[in-house]
Homo-oligomer: A and B are copies of this chain.
Amino acid sequence: MSAPAQKTAISPTRAEDFPEWYQQVVRAADLAENSDVRGCMVIKPWGFGMWENIQRHLDRMFKDTGHRNAYFPLLIPLGYFEKEAAHVEGFAKECAVVTHHRLEIGPDGKMRPAPSAELTEPLVIRPTSETIIGASFSRWVQSYRDLPVLINQWCNVLRWEMRTRLFLRTAEFLWQEGHTVHETSEEAVAEANQMLRVYQIFSEEFLAIPVYAGEKSESERFPGAVSTLTVEAMMQDRKAVQAGTSHFLGQNFAKASNIRYLSREGTQEYGWTTSWGASTRLVGTVIMTHGDDDGVILPPRIAPSQVVILPVIQKAEHRSTVLEAADDLAAEIRNQRYAKEPVTVEVDKRDVGGGVKNWDWIKRGVPIRLELGPRDLEKGTVAIARRDRPFKEKAFRPVEEVVKGIPGILSEIQAGLYQRAKELRDQYTVRIDSKADFYDLFTPKNAERPEIHGGFAFAHWSGDPAVEAQIKDDLKVTIRCIPTDPAFKDETPGKCIFTGAPSPRRVLFGKAY
């Protein structure tokens, strides 16, 4: 019970040191840990439970838009990978390469890759699957009747990273990658737009994270894409996270993989392809958007459990009665429905003190905590606490009222988290009209807190990549997107604030994870 004695459960606080706060929250909430394998994380059950819910809901949305899941090889022949020049250039530096297919005991008595089992062509662990899936698509697509091909894959990918951070940037991560082929450019563009919209809806409705939707500038495009669309979220440290991207690939990969079809006119044509993905990075995004100085705060729609019941047992003689009542209460709660699904609940029966238990669940961010002890059983009450309210706000209420009230409270929490995140984002998104103001916005005012800056800026930019490079170099600021969302795009022409050249519209700038 040391936690309640502290000012906050997590130290340092967000205001003191946001990056370190993040690491401490991930640890305190039991979400993930580093492994001994460079850059590869272990996702613990509570963190994986978030990912399972993200998967489940996104998967439903993908299926509702006509996509089906499939699975393609982990390993990509080097020859495939080389076919699209921009693509290989973009990923070559981060590829893990398999060169042998057997171990043996070497002359020093230690295990080593067997020299006699060296592969004639090395294999690359997929950093993304355009090329390996393209090889299948070239077999699957023969005629316009085979189109569109609408496929999704849930899998692990690997991009060797030197500096990693749990969930946000790891060498191996889990994701989904959609891959589609279409008869026309227009259909492929419509698909890429549709899937961006899916990511936006998912982010806002399930993760309770508002996003700016738009297109990446050329320098930030996916290697090999014609255009990359993105949804960008603002974290509490005012930095941006890309929460999902959707690429229109033109005919680049169709040509590289020879995806051709017999058209309605009887000619051979290359297909038009898209790809789109979201990853376990979303788990980190949720933490950094909603967490507070006591730990994670989970949006109910992706919480592994929406309610936890904490049996209060001070005397051994009460144990079985209280646990039984807790199980009964759990069963009643499971009969309630929130967002068209049964409410999820677990009973923490661990043999540890009540204070420790309570703080464990505060740190893990479970939306609703219920305490149930012998006195409650006598009175027919239960103590209820909400994670979006101060931890001391605990109310004793009749059991039936609590049970019936749970779906409403979950709705309130979900909506409240979105609202709070949106207010923060709107507060720190500003229109900037001069280079001086721009540099001021992104320059830390306190040398000890170099991560603190002003937020996102909507400003005019002529489209010149040299300007982008300069800003990135000076301030680590990038163009997050050229907004396409009617709610935000501002296509009033103006002048680039850096060069004075004519600018067709404002674009969104920010520092990014």
Mark A residues whose CB is within 8 Å of B: 33, 35-37, 40-45, 48-49, 51-52, 68-78, 80-82, 88, 92-104, 110-113, 122-125, 132, 135-136, 139, 145, 151, 155-156, 158, 160, 172, 174, 350-352
Q: A93-B102, A97-B113, A145-B351 are in contact. List 11 more A-B contacts (CB 8 A).
A: A37-B123, A41-B73, A75-B172, A81-B111, A82-B110, A82-B111, A97-B103, A99-B100, A103-B124, A113-B122, A156-B156
Taking a contact as CB atoms under 8 Å apart, the answer to whether B97 and A99 are in contact is: yes
Taking a contact as CB atoms under 8 Å apart, the answer to whether B156 and A74 are in contact is: yes
Taking a contact as CB atoms under 8 Å apart, the answer to whether B42 and A69 are in contact is: no
Taking a contact as CB atoms under 8 Å apart, the answer to whether A71 and B111 are in contact is: no
**Could you jot down 15 A-B contacts, CB within 8 Å?**
A35-B132, A36-B77, A40-B73, A42-B136, A45-B68, A48-B69, A48-B70, A49-B68, A52-B69, A74-B158, A82-B111, A88-B111, A93-B103, A97-B98, A101-B160
Query: Per DSSP, are chain A's interface residues mostly helix, strand or loop, or mixed?
Result: mixed
Copies of this chain present in the complex amount to 2
Set of chain B residues within 8 Å of A351, measured between Cβ atoms:
145
Taking a contact as CB atoms under 8 Å apart, the answer to whether A71 and B48 are in contact is: yes
**Cβ-neighbour of A75 out of B40, B75, B94, B145 (below 8 A):** B40
The 7 residue pairs across chains A and B that have the minimum distance between CB atoms: A40-B73, A45-B68, A92-B103, A43-B71, A97-B100, A101-B160, A97-B113
Taking a contact as CB atoms under 8 Å apart, the answer to whether A33 and B122 are in contact is: no
Taking a contact as CB atoms under 8 Å apart, the answer to whether B88 and A97 are in contact is: no
Q: How far is the CB of A297 from chain B (nearest CB, A)?
A: 21
Complex: chain B residue closest to A41, CB-CB = B73
Set of chain B residues within 8 Å of A72, measured between Cβ atoms:
35, 42-43
Q: How far is the CB of A167 from chain B (nearest CB, A)?
A: 11
**Cβ-neighbour of A352 out of B42, B70, B96, B145 (below 8 A):** B145
